[in-house]
Amino acid sequence: MKIFMGGLFEGIVWDSGALSNILMQDNNIELTVSGASSLIGFFYGMHGKNFYKYLKEFIEEKDNPIKPLINSDLFSSRYQQAITLLKLGTSGLELKNQTTFSKYLDSHFGTLTIEKLKHRVDFEVFDIKTGKFFLLDRKIRISQVLLSELSILPYYRYTELSDMFLIPSSYICLSPYNLSPDGLIISYEAGGSVFKAMNAAEILLKISYARTRELFRIISKDIELITCESPLEDPLDSVAFYDGMKTCQKYMEGKLEL
Amino acid sequence: MINALALGSGGVKGIAHIAFISEIVRKRNIKFDIVTGCSAGSVVGGVYALNPSKNEFLKDFEAIIKKNSLKFIDLSNALSSKVNSFKRLLYSRGIAQNDLVYDILKQIYGKKRFSDCKIKFGVVAFDINSERLVEITEGYLIDAIMASSNVPGAFPPMRLGGMDLVDGGAISEVPVFLAKKLGGEYIIANDINPVILKDTFSDGMDYMNYIDSLKTALITKNELDTANEVYSFYDKVEWYDFDKYFEIYRKAKRVYSRDIT
């Protein structure tokens, strides 16, 4: 089974639940990931079907620099919006220090490369210099993979690698871009909630996300999708994991009936 | 064969559509039965649809631009001032009021309706509540074109038919699908806002805008791929640099004279 996963952090728990359900029934999967799902991909690659335990431990580490990406208050705090506008409009390309993040990932994953993972996973990225989507070479170190895949605006700038400027494909189109017609997409965010924009900054953020969703709609129109039946109050709560499992089970049963 | 013209968004670069129409009609002796537009494309498309036998209307737009030049300067200043922009981005739904656009469109369209057009005409806008592109083919031209040209962030969304509408180019810049829906069999598209790849950024806002323009370009490509002919025109000016209209026109004339065979 070919499985594609992307998205930002909102769906990471739910998507993990859905993938866990599939892995309970089918260990023979070909997984392509992008964005926050690259963490799911990495821990699956290392630990197989028990990946979520390790992913959760990693996310909950006290000094993990990905925490601001997960618990973003950009949509709810006007103060945060003001800081963001001021920082991005007057100086750098990012809100957080990418060098600190890079050092953290290096210390965590050392020289481990994609090809050393126990289970095969492909990581897709987007090069903003050429406008091309592609899979990362399997000799690339995991720390560089994750740095590229988590170069999510406005927190981190693009990652420079081999003369390319890389960001996750899923920032552009919610999932990996190069999908196959016989594949299956897992994406909580494809069915996630649409927020109400209160000011011009939120209107621009909303439109940016609408572009991502529209592109996803275009590339995924003939491909099967598992998404949430209704948006959850707290998609980062463990309830989301079981909701993902349950929804996936329903899908699998529906598919078996076909 | 039913010929349709799809005109894309691009602010002041919309002047290039005037050069495009003039050149393609002159070189091909073609007659269009349908025109669709997005943003600046809707402004030019509306004028063309009302009087398709006149294929050179730079002077009409020139008169409007000259008459409103002070207002355009005010708009340009409001949009290029970072201090003003940041404040208004946080505390209002748009940096500037869209009364200016309304006043200008009123001078062009008055109380004309879609039913006054000599050929079929349609425009696209984007509803920020439902996150859907909206196709408008009836009612007062000024309302539809105003909605289609309502640049998000710069102006507050326009309330129409229970929707909060902004520039259709926020999502997809050249309305080829609408041209097909209106019955177009041979569609010629003009894209005046193609993305140019780059690797240097003046600040974080420039970087974010660039990444978003890549998204829009991919969505627009999905529409352009279904057109029979696609032309494009590139000029590195801000959408609100209205004082550059004549340079844009002259450059566009040269480009289309070379590209249209």
What string of DSSP letters covers A14-69?
Answer: HHHHHHHHHHHH----EEEE-TTHHHHHHHHHHHGGGHHHHHHHHHT-TT-TTHHH
Provide the β-strand partners of residue B123: B37, B136
CB contact under 8 A, A82 and B214: no
Chain A residues close to B90, C-beta within 8 Å: 78, 81-82, 85, 199-201
**pLDDT value of residue A76:** 63
C-alpha span between B146 and B105 (Å, rounded): 7
pLDDT of residue B3 exceeding 70, the answer is yes
Please, what is the average pLDDT of chain B?
91
**pLDDT value of residue A257:** 37
Summarised one tens digit per residue, pLDDT across range A20-44 is 999 998 888 999 999 999 999 999 9
Check residues B57 and A55 and name the one with the higher pLDDT: A55
Q: How confident is the model at residue A245 (pLDDT cuts 50, 70, 90)?
A: very high
Chain A: give the shortest CA distance to residue B152, in Å: 7
Q: How confident is the model at residue A256 (pLDDT cuts 50, 70, 90)?
A: very low
Q: How confident is the model at residue A68 (pLDDT cuts 50, 70, 90)?
A: confident
**pLDDT value of residue B90:** 78
**pLDDT value of residue A120:** 96
pLDDT of residue B72 exceeding 50, the answer is yes
C-alpha span between B209 and B201 (Å, rounded): 10
Summarised one tens digit per residue, pLDDT across range A119-171 is 999 999 999 999 999 999 999 999 999 999 999 888 889 999 999 999 999 99
Which residue type is seen at A115?
A: E
pLDDT of residue A195 exceeding 80, the answer is no
A224 by DSSP, 3-state: which?
strand
**pLDDT value of residue A170:** 95
Burial class (CB in 10 A: 0-12, 13-18, 19+), A257: exposed
CB contact under 8 A, A172 and B94: no
Q: Which residue, A227, A120, A207, A105, is CA-closest to A156?
A: A105
Name the A residues in 208-237 with CB < 8 Å from any B CB.
208, 210-215, 218
Selecting from B205, B210, B222 the residue whose C-beta is nearest the C-beta of A218 gives: B222
CB contact under 8 A, A173 and B215: yes
Continuous H helices in A48-162: 51-59, 67-70, 78-90, 98-109, 142-149
Summarised one tens digit per residue, pLDDT across range B127-140 is 999 999 999 999 99
Contacts A–B by Cβ distance under 8 A: 127
pLDDT of residue A79 exceeding 70, the answer is no
pLDDT of residue B249 exceeding 50, the answer is yes
Return the residue in B9, B159, B207, B223 with the most chain A beta carbons within 10 A, the one to mutate for interface testing: B207
pLDDT of residue B80 exceeding 80, the answer is no
Say which residues have a Cβ less than 8 Å from residue B118's Cβ, sequence separation at least 6: B49, B50, B51, B52, B53
**Distance from the first to the final alpha carbon of chain A:** 16
Cα B144 vs. chain centroid, distance in angstroms?
A: 12
**pLDDT value of residue A82:** 66
Instruction: Determine what percent of chain A is predicted with pLDDT higher than 70.
Output: 91
Return the residue in A211, A219, A222 with the most chain B beta carbons within 10 A, the one to mutate for interface testing: A211
Tokens of B243: 């004082």
Summarised one tens digit per residue, pLDDT across range B100-111 is 889 889 999 999
**pLDDT value of residue B87:** 75
Which residue type is seen at A192?
A: G
Check residues A246 and A96 and name the one with the higher pLDDT: A246
Closest A-chain CA to B156:
A200
pLDDT of residue A116 exceeding 50, the answer is yes
Summarised one tens digit per residue, pLDDT across range B221-248 is 999 999 999 999 998 888 777 788 889 9
**pLDDT value of residue B13:** 93
**pLDDT value of residue A199:** 85
Check residues B24 and B60 and name the one with the higher pLDDT: B24
pLDDT of residue B88 exceeding 90, the answer is no
Name the A residues in 43-82 with CB < 8 Å from any B CB.
78, 81-82
**pLDDT value of residue A200:** 86
Chain B: give the shortest CA distance to residue A258, in Å: 32
What string of DSSP letters covers B190-253?
Answer: EES------S--SSHHHHHHHHHHHHHHHHHHHHHTTSSEEEE------TT-GGGHHHHHHHHH
| ipTM exceeding cut-off 0.90 for this assembly | yes
CB contact under 8 A, A207 and B157: no
> Which whole-number Å values give the CA distances from B44 to A6, A18, A102, B5, B19, in the listed order?
40, 50, 50, 11, 11
Summarised one tens digit per residue, pLDDT across range B181-220 is 999 999 999 999 999 999 999 888 889 989 999 999 999 9
Cα B95 vs. chain centroid, distance in angstroms?
A: 19
Chain A: give the shortest CA distance to residue B40, in Å: 19
pLDDT of residue A255 exceeding 70, the answer is no
> Which whole-number Å values give the CA distances from A5 to A171, A198, A257, B122, in the listed order?
12, 31, 24, 38
**pLDDT value of residue A9:** 87
Please, what is the average pLDDT of chain A?
90
- What's the mean pLDDT in B33-59? 92
pLDDT of residue B81 exceeding 80, the answer is no
pLDDT of residue B67 exceeding 80, the answer is yes
Q: Which residue, B186, B191, B173, B188, is CA-closest to B232?
A: B191
**pLDDT value of residue A234:** 87
CB contact under 8 A, A172 and B89: no
CB contact under 8 A, A204 and B153: yes
Closest B-chain CA to A86:
B86
